[in-house]
Structure 1
């Protein structure tokens, strides 16, 4: 990705990882 796209991708990737972790915890405890 060119220019600032790398930052956007990393930000999106980190957010996705957080959502995945939350989803896993939600299924474990509910």
Structure 2
């Protein structure tokens, strides 16, 4: 197992979380 791929997976998870958080904030501010 390559550690670099694990870091990339972590970065992708953080990126997805930030994106999800932004969408959630957008929904909360609309209603």
With structure 1 as the length reference, what TM-score do the two structures score?
0.72
Structure 1 ranges of 4+ moved more than 6 A: none
Q: Which structure would you say has the larger Rg?
A: 2
Q: CA RMSD in A?
A: 0.8
The structure where helix makes up a greater share of residues is 2
TM-score (norm 2): 0.70
- Count of residue pairs brought into register by the alignment: 25
Gaps of at least 5 residues in structure 2 are 1-6
